[in-house]
Amino acid sequence: QVQLVQSGAEVKKPGASVKVSCKASGYTFTSYGISWVRQAPGQGLEWMGWISAYNGNTNYAQKLQGRVTMTTDTSTSTAYMELRSLRSDDTAVYYCARGRPGIPHDYWGQGTLVTVSS
């Protein structure tokens, strides 16, 4: 069965960076991409960007351009999302989700809480 398992919760200081992992299993990793979606406390879902697991092409949300980098390691079927220059409003649960342009996000990771606090 398809599973996306994310790394554990993180606490970071403002200005630091965080890197969240998402290990996929149960399907051919390179046949899909991975989107990253975040949800601030009490708020809605915000799409952060997408990476193709086939060729590494990326598409980032405009508001995060320059601060976010998404990568994949096909040898371990793992996707990574790094967010730099963290601010307090980056505090959120970060989700990875399987998908690619034109198809829905059909499987989701369990979420990773990132807390940014001095």
Partner 1 sequence: QSVLTQPPSVSAAPGQKVTISCSGSSSNIGNNYVSWYQQLPGTAPKLLIYDNNKRPSGIPDRFSGSKSGTSATLGITGLQTGDEADYYCGTWDSSLSAGHVFGTGTKVTVL
Q: Which positions lie near partner 1, rule CB under 8 A? A: 35, 37, 44-47, 49-50, 59-62, 95, 97, 99, 101-111
By the 10 Å C-beta count (0-12 exposed, 13-18 middle, 19+ buried), 44 is classed as exposed
* Cα Rg of the chain (Å, integer): 13
What's the N-to-C CA distance of the chain in angstroms?
Answer: 40
Min separation Cβ 118 and partner 1, Å: 26
Minimum Å gap between C-beta 116 and partner 1 is 20
The residue among 20 and 99 lying less far from partner 1, judged by its C-beta, is 99
Q: Report the nearest approach of partner 1 to the CB of residue 110 (Å).
A: 6
Q: Please answer whether residues 9 and 114 qualify as being in contact, where contact means their C-beta atoms are separated by less than 8 angstroms.
A: yes
Residue closer to partner 1 by CB (options 6, 72) is 6
Structure tokens given for 92:
């959120």
Shortest distance, CB of residue 6 to partner 1, whole angstroms? 9
What residues are paired with 16 via a beta bridge? none
> Which of 43/118 has CB closer to partner 1?
43
Cα Dmax for the chain: 41
SS3 of 90, please?
Answer: helix
Closest to partner 1 by CB, 53 vs 105, is: 105
